Amino acid sequence: MATRLLYLNDSYLKEFEAKVESVGGNAVILDQTGFHPLTGGVGCDLGWLIKGNIRFRVGRVEIDRATKVVSHVLEAEPTGLNAGDLVNCVIDWDRRYCLMRLHTAAHLIAAIMYRDYNALITGGQVDVDQAKLDFNLPRTDREVFEDAVRKANEEAAKRVELKVYFLSREEALKVPGVVKLAERMPPEERELRLVEIPGIDLQADGGPHVNNTGEIGEIQLLKIENKGKNQRRIYFGMRHANSC
């Protein structure tokens, strides 16, 4: 049975209770989870599953795309943990918050690159200390990316409140601006989770984001790479970050 994904409704959930559905080797499946798996170009959460006074360290979280079952892969075999147990689950919040800030920053940069340079995003990965984004862009000028990061910082400083909401496929197909996203979604998905940064960006997106762009902090361009014909990759991170 698919795992209930608590993070879809609350990116700020740091602790939750869950029931162990099964244990196989180091992998634990719960009935529900707030742990974001490695998916959608965003790194996975780490943290702990706690039973009584025993803490099991979560070293990796994966989702099976077909079954939507999330596996919490522990660093050591969980002796004493069995199906039916109730566990208290704690997410490594410093790490998660960095991922949320960088992920939201990635939305701003990608939206500005498209709006001002007609550059389409072709890939990307948000990790805890830095993020990378690939763009289809014939120019290699460093100024283009410096401009995009500067504008993203200006947008972040406006402290825009993000909106996260769900629409059925039928509803989504009626809303201008959402139609394209709805058409792209796989037919078995009945509901679309939309993440909107009003005035800037609208995406169908299952990942965790900050509530307000003011939480992002100052984005810093780290590196630009030429990845072949029209393919440019940028790396960015946070300036003066405490833990990112």
**How far is Cα 202 from Cα 233, in angstroms, rounded to an integer?**
22
Nearest distance from C-beta of residue 167 to Zn ion, angstroms: 16
Residue nearer to Zn ion on the CB measure, 78 or 217: 217
* # binding residues, Zn ion (CB under 5 A): 2
Residue nearer to Zn ion on the CB measure, 155 or 205: 205
Q: Which residue is nearest to Zn ion (CB)?
A: 205
Nearest distance from C-beta of residue 34 to Zn ion, angstroms: 17
Residue 150 contacts by C-beta under 8 Å, 6 or more apart in sequence? Answer: none
Residue nearer to Zn ion on the CB measure, 37 or 207: 207
Nearest distance from C-beta of residue 41 to Zn ion, angstroms: 8
Nearest distance from C-beta of residue 106 to Zn ion, angstroms: 7
Cα 163 to chain centroid distance, Å, stands at 15
Q: How many CB atoms lie within 10 A of CB 215?
A: 15
Q: What is the DSSP string of 149-212?
A: HHHHHHHHHT-PBPEEEEEEHHHHTTSTTTHHHHHHS-TT--EEEEEEETTTEEEE--S---SB
Q: In DSSP terms, which residues pair with 236 in a beta bridge?
A: 131, 221
- 170-229 residues near Zn ion, rule: CB under 5 A: 205, 207
Residue nearer to Zn ion on the CB measure, 42 or 144: 42
155 makes contact with Zn ion (CB under 5 A): no
Report the interface residues with Zn ion, using CB under 5 A: 205, 207
